[in-house]
Structure 1
Amino acid sequence: MKAKLTSLTYLTLGLLATLIIGPILPSLAQNRPNCSSPMTQADMNSCAGQSFRVADAELNRVYNQFINNLSASRRERLIDAQLAWISYRDATCELEGESVRGGSLQPLYITTCKTGLTETRTQEFVAYSQNRYPAGSSSRFSEVEQQHRSALNTLRNRNASSLLDASENAWQAYRSSACEFERSGGGNAAFNNCQIRLTEQRIQQLK
């Protein structure tokens, strides 16, 4: 089934509802919050959702534009990587919201996290389309991997939750498939750079 895919669509349920209901209820536009200065928590949540939908649509656009120019084998690798990225994004942002679980801030934390990860992924696709493979700041993968394990263990001692394990497992799968894709276009140097870059990003998330 996966081999038959040529593109992925990230149309969220919120966006789908907007497309269906929008023409029927134009008066709802009058109740939209001012996202330049949201006044209530509900407004903040709504504006965060709007920002995510914009970021999601841009990722979808750049992704579909890029994948159409790939060979069949690289297209399959990219699809694997992007499916893994979606799982990683969702699991990581659920973990992000765990610190305020049950509170009114939880949706804001989760959505803001998704927006940030989506914008980062879009930047990577822009680089791919320019035949570039973004590099990390370190020179040795072994060093950042050690830092990653340290940051993970520190967080696990404070928050030994199933969400942390799910997030970490999803990230490991994403890093593996994403870096294999980058190796398919840039060789072993691109693979090594990818491992360093994604591990550095992960360290920041865990701190």
Structure 2
Amino acid sequence: MVAVAFCIVLISAPALAAEFSADMVFQPKGEAPMTAKVYVKGNKMRQEAMEEGEKQIVIVRPDKKVSWMIDPEEKKYIEMPYEDEENLFEEWSLEKQEKAKFLKEENAAGVPCKKYEIDEEGEKTSIWISTKHSFPVKVEDSETIVEYKNIRDGSLEDSLFELPEGYEKISVPTMDEDKEVSQ
């Protein structure tokens, strides 16, 4: 379940008003790409990926202040608190645009975009912002490339963003609990 979560944590995800599905390709430079199916409806997000031959699902629900990591084969899930400062659904804003350097208009993932560069403490990141949805369809830095491909606009079922019926909640030991066990 851990590999699925890292894809969500490492990127700024789609815009708040959007409703679509896409294939997300996460490419650490020099390593094999990892892919996931992403569904976005407003500020809700669902990500499905295969990890070691097993399907893993992460649902992010800022409205409920929760994220769920779901194992459909075991019919179990882990619930994690969601904090506003962890907001993954960052729409490209005028404030961000003012801090970025506009480079050119260019397609990314078959979508018309405006390409920007952000320099934070010497670390340069290129960002391709969709002119239709106002969110990053591609982000590239010195270590990774994240790109949304096969973006399909359209209505999504609310049930995609809910826990499935009959799944068992499991807990993950905290660091404090791990210390107690090892003593």
Q: TM-score, normalised by structure 1?
A: 0.23
Structure 1 or 2: more strand by fraction? 2
> Which of these two proteins has the greater Rg computed from alpha carbons?
1
Q: TM-score, normalised by structure 2?
A: 0.24
Structure 1 or 2: more helix by fraction? 1
